[in-house]
Amino acid sequence: MSYQGKKNIPKITSDRLLIKGGRIVNDDQSFHADIYMEDGLIKQIGDNLIVPGGVKTIEANGKMVIPGGIDIHTHFQMPYRGTTTVDDFAQGSKAALAGGTTMIVDHVMPEPGASLIEAHDQWRQWADEKACCDYSLHVDITHWNDSVKQEVDNLIKEKGVNSFQVYMAYKDYYQMSNSELYEVFTFLAERGGIAQVHAENGEIIAEEQARMLQMGITGPEGHVLSRPEELEAEAVFRAITIASQTNCPLYVTRVMSKSAADIISQARKKGNVVFGEPITASLGTDGTHYWSKNWAKAASFVTSPPLSPDPTTPDYLNTLLSSGDLSVTGSAHCTFSVAQKAIGKDDFTQIPEGVNGVEERMALIWDKAVTTGKMDENMFVAVTSTNAAKILNLYPRKGRIAVGSDADLVIWDTDAIRTITAKTHNSAAEYNIFEGVELRGAPLVVICQGKIVLEDGNLHATSGVGRFIPCSPFPDFAYKRIKARKQLAVLRAVPRGMYDGPVSEFSMSRGGTPSASARTSPTKQPVRNLHQSGFSLAGNPAPCGPPTPDDIPIRPAGRRIVVPPGGRSNITSLS
Amino acid sequence: MSDCRRQWNREDELPVYLAGPITTGSNQRKTYGMFSSVEGAFESKTIDFENYAVGRKGSRTPRSGSRERLLDTGDPISKLPSEARESSLNGSPGERDEARSRAEVRFSSGTENLNGKSERLLIKGGRVVNDDQSFYADVYIEDGLIKQVGENLVVPGGVKVIEANGRMVIPGGIDVNTCLMKSYLGTQPVDDFFQGTKAALAGGTTMIIDHVAPQPGDSLLEAFERWQEAADKKACCDYSLHVDIPQWNENVKDELELLVQDKGINSFQVYMAYKDVYQMTDSELYEAFSFLKQLGAVVLVHAENGDLIAQEQRKILGMGITGPEGHPLSRPEELEAEAVFRAITLGNRVNCPVYITKVMSKSAADTITQARRKGSVVFGEPITASLATDGSHYWSKNWAKAAAYVTSPPLSPDQTTPDHLHTLLACGDLQVVGSSHCAYSTSQKAIGKDDFTLIPEGINGVEERMGFVWDKAVTMGKMDENQFVAVTSTNAAKIFNLYPRKGRIAVGSDADIVIWDPDSVKTITAKLQQSAAEYNIFEGLECRGGPVLVLSQGQVVYEEGKLHAQQGTGRFIPRKPFPDYAYQRVKFRNQVKRKQGVTRGIYDGPVYDVAPTPKYITPSPSAKTSPTSHQPPPIRNLHQSNFSLSGAQIDDNIPRRSGHRIVAPPGGRSNITSLG
């Protein structure tokens, strides 16, 4: 590392940086080039750049320069029953930077019944005070009604939020019914939001939890026993069905099991617009630890959906991530101290849910996927950064090394070997679920907003410099296909003559119609009137008489000559 | 099979079980060959006809309090009548010769016996096709039961002989899904038990299982008795009943128990669709599955996501689509597949067999296939309509025609669906074929002329069922004749615990037999059908293969296109719970799936103080509502007694703790508070 020109310009004023001799790795290609940054933006890329004097130069020595990671799923400073997670925005984002992640997207968790906007503002305030890196926010929709609808609309239009999470689990609390999900998805599809789901079948979980407790299983193993991966797969399947019905892009947070991942990859094969997000924990460890004799250790793995006890799961998820069936990685970093976890020491359902992973995320994927040959470095960039930026509509500002992009860069050391331990990690938690795991690959230099925050193993993060990055609706990555399908999927009624045969008598009073749900529908059939104008003509034994003027646009006379699929056109004749 | 045939050709080596009633006494009949499934049940080769006759007579009598139903189908032995029968047979060797000579004359005495008292029939020269094998054999029938199967049978005189001329002799079909009394907004389907069973017999189906469809709030028991009464009066063939559970509550549980234990019902249908009417929530389904599993019943599921359907219906009506095409548009096949997936998940969790009624789409069938591959105990039932036609007709310009196809789940507009379903049926991924026959007249369908959600749902298919499976699967080379028997009859009998009384041609089974002509070709048309409906959704389709002759309870009911069905002859066939076909695996899994907690020392570290009335509720509040979470679970007390000791880390004289600490537990150290 050396300074070009005058050597004693203080670091603070040096907003200019030059990375020399690095190999730039984007999600589409890798190439050797120098990068010149000024004022937090990438200004020039290329060889033999002409740069002003007084620029700090970093010699990359042929190492990879990648876009800083985006952790699309964190829960920093999350309130929980009067306490908060031990990693606040300062601590959490410091850990993120230490791991090569230069942007986090946190979940706003309003209590059911509370205002989404107020919660959002609260989170903004917390994050603005403390965050050391850029951040953005998802808002969780914990209940659904018209005022929430208004707030969601407002958040999309004015607050720069484009992704909203709904819950299929946590019965009687966050959980939404299928009808509500349908409405939320429909609304988000209209407004260009991304529907994120926490996919687990809450009703069956409730039953299973009651059963486990009844059987006398109260330890953390009850958590995984009451939430078998089938329930995750079932909910994923259902969410995909609803999203496909409403033509809304779907984002499944926390893909924890093979079967859930399989459902996503099958749906993608069928053409559904669905993104799957495995998290650090599901990519790096498995659920056998729930049976640990050490209660504190077992409890530290408690998260929902739980880690799968199947030890082949991480490998499988890494494979799907490499093949593109899973799209992005998060960490779901949500750390509680052992004392907090111990709230549930006599009842596993009371254990606060959350695992760490924001710091380990990039290295773990490198170690498990790239060094094993599953994934190339470009794909690595895609799943750790670029895809997330695309989904959030932040691309190419984030997630790419290009002229004009934010200067969030990481010089990646592919060979560094680190052993994860709670003693050296940057999180405030006393445990680390990856304790003792050796990871190959680590960030050497991290540049955030054009400033060096990690260098020579020293972290220089500054609390409060993180900016809120607004996300705009209708991200192309998700919505281009949706838009095209919307145009195709216009349903049309079959123009028919009026049915003029006998109608048998029936009684509506008895609550027994199998399709009673329709009776509650507020809509009356507006188009029926149009048809009724043709009523007098339908009696003709010959195919209905000349079309009324109203009919002409939808039912040209020419069409009647063609034998309709499956039968004659006379309205009452029985074929 | 060939060596079996060789054996039979030599009369002196005739297997004992074939020589049965005439040549040997009951005490000799110890060893059994291939028909061992009836071992013990028919020791003297002579069935207690009276016992069945009681059931038959009884079923005609009006419902009277606690009339005893014959639950035990496997042991209808009663000494007195059988001995009488045996002596009369053994005492007249001359009659045997007479019988033979008459057999050669063919039909010489048969016609007079047809309506007479004697119910003896001999089917000669047919190829008996069961689900496992086919072989040439004659079948001798007496009093509604198969008495002998084999070649060169020794039969008494006065027997009507039917020459099968090498044609297939198959067990009569069992249609597992009919709705002959399912009222809709006060109107009844036009095919009642008489019309419906007539149509069934004409198509080669000799037993139906009808759905009892009580309205929410109705008593299941009363509904069941209403159905049984109507069926006893009208049915022309044997029948059994499924009971639909329109809603879940405590009263229902008692009734279900009664139905299973006293009434001979072992299958119940639950609905995942019809929001606000029949639909159950996942929690209710979980409870229903758990309860029905304890009873040993088969859970039938109408699998469609009712919540989404309601939303889609509203949307589509809002768009101004009111015709029958709105029906499939509002019920896309994804919703069916989703519900099937959910039902299977529930079944897996509860460890309970699940039976999906009306598999209508490729994706639903594929979901079942995948689940079976993973080991789930799940059965799929495609119906005649989904196997023979598709949903393109919903777009017909003819409203009456389009409405005739309305059923739920709807027929898939994808025209490759029938073919795909046949393939899965042939390979065993789908198991049984029903018809879901529920015929409404056009004027009844017209209730929904302005709103497709009001169109009564139901299609025909009981008569065409066997023919189409033959036509589309066997003649296409997808399926062999044995599999044909399996899917149209045997599997149904196995799943619903009727086997081997039904679904098999074997000594002791009911004489419900069809002589099948694989080459007859007929064109389906409403004009010639037995059903009372004015339309037929298969109108104009050609169907190769059909019954030449149908025997129900040992009586010829259909012959050469003529139907001799008699109203009220159908018997209710009670079914016992825990059918092996569905429950054997479940039982073993029950034993394997015992979950055990981990024995740990008590956690003795710091505990964060939670306010008693939490401002922020735990994300798993569902447990708080569980009745068990308030009372400390039993094991906890045990731990609590250790509490004072757990603080002492070095104190190793407590055997339980010290033992644990030595063993390295999977995945970590055993010290309770140390952080790995």
Q: Does A423 touch chain B (CB under 8 A)?
A: no
Neighbours of A558 (CB within 10 A): 7
Q: How confident is the model at residue A14 (pLDDT cuts 50, 70, 90)?
A: low
CATH number, domain at B399? 3.20.20.140
Tokens 């997330």 -> residue: A388
Contact A231 B345 (CB under 8 A): yes
The alpha carbon dihedral of B443, B449, B455, B458 has a sign of: positive
**What digits encode the pLDDT tens for the residues B146-184?**
999 999 888 888 889 999 999 999 999 999 999 999 988
Pairwise CA distance, residues A190 & A450, whole Å: 37
Chain B positions touching A182 (Cβ under 8 A) are: 307-308, 311
pLDDT for position A362: 95
In chain B, what percentage of residues exceed pLDDT 70?
73
Domain that holds residue B514: 171-542+566-588
Closest-CA distance of chain B to residue A243, Å: 11
Task: Tell me the CATH number at B153.
Answer: 2.30.40.10
Closest CA–CA distance from residue A347 to any residue of chain B (Å): 8
Cβ atoms B558, B202 nearer than 8 A: yes
pLDDT higher for B73 or B248?
Answer: B248
Chain A, window 220-259: residues with a beta carbon less than 8 angstroms from a chain B beta carbon: 221-222, 225, 228, 230-231, 233-234, 237-238, 241-242, 244-245
At which residue do the structure tokens 């079944």 appear? B347
pLDDT of residue B666: 52
Residue B612: the pLDDT is 55
B613 domain residue, yes or no: no
Q: Is A507 on the interface with B (CB under 8 A)?
A: yes
User: Over 70: is that where the pLDDT of B562 sits?
Assistant: yes
- Strands A64-67 and A56-59, by their bridges, are unpaired
Rounded Cα distance between B313 and B316, Å, is 5
The C-alpha atoms of residue B192 and residue B171 are separated, in whole angstroms, by 24
Strand arrangement of the beta sheet that strand B267-271 belongs to = B173-178, B205-212, B238-244, B267-271, B298-302, B354-359, B378-382
Q: Amino acid identity, residue B533?
A: A
The burial class, CB within 10 Å (0-12 / 13-18 / 19+), for A151 is buried
Which residues, at least 6 apart from B89, have a Cβ–Cβ distance to it below 8 Å? B21, B22, B156
Give A18-85 as a DSSP string.
EEEEEEEE-SS-EEEEEEEEETTEEEEEESS----SS-EEEE-TT-EEEEPEEEEEE-TT-EETTEE-
Of the pLDDT bands very low, low, confident and very high (cuts 50, 70, 90), residue A54 is confident
Kindly state whether residues B232 and B109 are assigned to the same domain. no
B522 located within any domain: yes
pLDDT tens sequence across B432-469: 999 999 999 999 999 998 999 999 999 999 999 999 99
Task: Give dist(CA B269, CA B297) in Å, integer.
Answer: 10
Q: Is the pLDDT at B244 greater than 60, yes or no? A: yes
pLDDT, residue A15, reads 78
How far is the C-alpha of B372 from the C-alpha of B359, rounded, in Å? Answer: 15
Length of chain B in terms of residues written:
676
> Look-up: residue for tokens 């955030």?
A448
Residues B180 and B136 in one domain: no
Domain presence at residue B665: no
pLDDT mean over A328-355: 93
Checking if the pLDDT of B292 tops 90, the result is yes
Give yes or no: residues B157 and B190 share one domain. no
Residues 6+ apart with CB under 8 A from A360: A99, A280, A284, A331, A420, A425, A432, A434, A439
Chain A contact set for B186 (CB, 8 A): 505-507, 510
User: Is B635 within the bounds of a domain?
Assistant: no
Residues of A within 8 A of B601 (CB-CB) are: 293, 295
pLDDT band at B611 (very low <50, low <70, confident <90, very high): low
Whether residues B161 and B222 share a domain: the answer is no
**Mean pLDDT computed over A387-396:** 94
**B183 neighbourhood in chain A, CB within 8 Å:** 512
| Interface touch A569/B444, C-beta < 8 Å | no
Q: Which residue would you say has higher pLDDT here, B238 or B76?
A: B238
Answer yes or no: is pLDDT of A484 > 50: yes
B114-155 residue pLDDT tens: 444 457 899 999 999 999 999 999 999 999 999 999 998 888
Q: What does the pLDDT read at residue B109?
A: 39
Mean pLDDT of B50-64: 39
Query: B582 lies in a domain?
Result: yes
Question: Same domain for B187 and B163?
Answer: no
Of A171, A349, A568, the CB nearest to B398: A568
Using a 10 angstrom Cβ sphere, with 0-12 exposed, 13-18 middle and 19 or more buried, the burial of residue A145 is exposed
Say yes or no: B187 and B234 in one domain: yes
| CB contact set of A199 (below 8 Å; sequence gap of 6+) | A168, A169, A232, A235, A236, A238, A239, A252, A253, A260, A305
**Per-window interface: A 333-392 vs B, CB < 8 A:** 337-340, 342-343, 345-347, 349-350, 352-353
Identify whether B249 is part of a domain: yes
| Pair of tokens at residue B70 | 């014959």
pLDDT at residue B596, as a whole number: 73
Q: What is the pLDDT of residue B640?
A: 44
> Residue B456: what pLDDT?
94
Residues A79, B615 contacting (CB under 8 angstroms): no
Mean pLDDT (whole number) for B77-104: 38
List, for residues A430-463, the tens digit of each pLDDT value.
999 999 999 999 999 999 999 999 998 899 999 9
Q: Are residues B108 and B196 in the same domain?
A: no
**In the predicted model, what is the mean pLDDT of chain A?**
86
B469 and B328 within one domain: yes
pLDDT band at B185 (very low <50, low <70, confident <90, very high): confident
pLDDT-wise least confident of A61-70, A460-469, B44-53: B44-53
Tell me which of B530, B558, B588 is where a domain ends: B588
Strand ranges (DSSP E) for B494-568? Answer: 513-523, 542-552, 555-559, 562-563
Beta strands A2-3 and A56-59: pairing type? antiparallel
Of A81, A205, A218, the CB nearest to B616: A81
Determine contact: A431 vs chain B, CB below 8 A. Answer: yes
pLDDT tops 90 at residue A141: yes
Domain shared by B479 and B574, yes or no: yes
Query: Quick check: A563 contacting B, CB < 8 Å?
Result: no
Q: In this structure, are B144 and B267 located in the same domain?
A: no
Q: Is residue B622 part of a domain?
A: no
| Confidence at residue B88, expressed as pLDDT on a 0 to 100 scale | 40
Q: Which residues fall within 8 angstroms of residue A81, CB to CB, at 6 or more apart?
A: A343, A352, B610, B611, B614, B615, B616, B617, B618
**Mean pLDDT score, B371-395:** 94
Question: pLDDT tier at A426 (50, 70, 90 boundaries)?
Answer: very high
Strand order in the sheet with A69-74: A69-74, A101-108, A134-140, A163-167, A194-198, A250-255, A274-278
Number of domains in chain B: 2
Instruction: Tell me, yes or no, if A113 comes closer than 8 A to chain B by beta carbon.
Output: no
The proportion of chain B whose per-residue pLDDT surpasses 90, expressed as a percent, equals 64
SS3 B665: coil
Question: pLDDT band at residue B560, thresholds of 50, 70 and 90?
Answer: confident
Residue from A499, A505, A529 to probe the interface with B (highest B Cβ count within 10 Å): A499
For residue B234, being part of any structural domain is answered with: yes
Last residue of a domain, one of B169, B201, B216: B169
Q: Which two tokens stand for residue A550?
A: 């109203």
Helices (H), A355-443: 361-365, 377-381, 387-391
B157 and B239 part of one domain: no
Residue B176 shares a structural domain with residue B160: no
Contacts of B568 (CB under 8 A, 6+ apart): B60, B232, B233, B234, B235, B236
Q: Which of A83, A263, A508, A574 to substitute to test the interface with B, most B CBs within 10 Å?
A: A574
pLDDT tens profile B629-642: 343 444 444 444 44
Say yes or no to pLDDT of B82 above 80.
no
8 Å CB contact between B462 and B385: no
The residue with greater pLDDT, A513 or B324, is: B324
The answer to whether residue A131 scores a pLDDT higher than 90 is yes
Dist CA B58 CA B25 (whole Å): 32
The string of pLDDT tens digits covering residues A208-222 is 999 999 999 999 999
Question: For B42-46, B263-267, B341-345, B472-476, which range has the lowest pLDDT when averaged over its residues?
Answer: B42-46
pLDDT of residue A535: 41
Q: Residue B220: CB partners within 8 Å, gap ≥ 6?
A: B212, B214, B243, B245, B252, B255, B256, B259
pLDDT at B620: 43
pLDDT digits (tens, 9 = 90+) for B639-668: 444 444 444 444 444 444 333 343 444 554
Q: Look at A517 and B184 and tell me if their CB atoms are within 8 Å.
A: no
Last residue of a domain, one of B530, B555, B588: B588
In 3D space, the residue among B530, B522, B503 whose CA is nearest the CA of residue B238 turns out to be: B503
- Answer yes or no: is the ipTM higher than 0.85: no
Under an 8 A CB cutoff, do B675 and A430 touch?
Answer: yes
**DSSP string for residues in B634-653:** HHHHHHHHTHHHHT-SS---
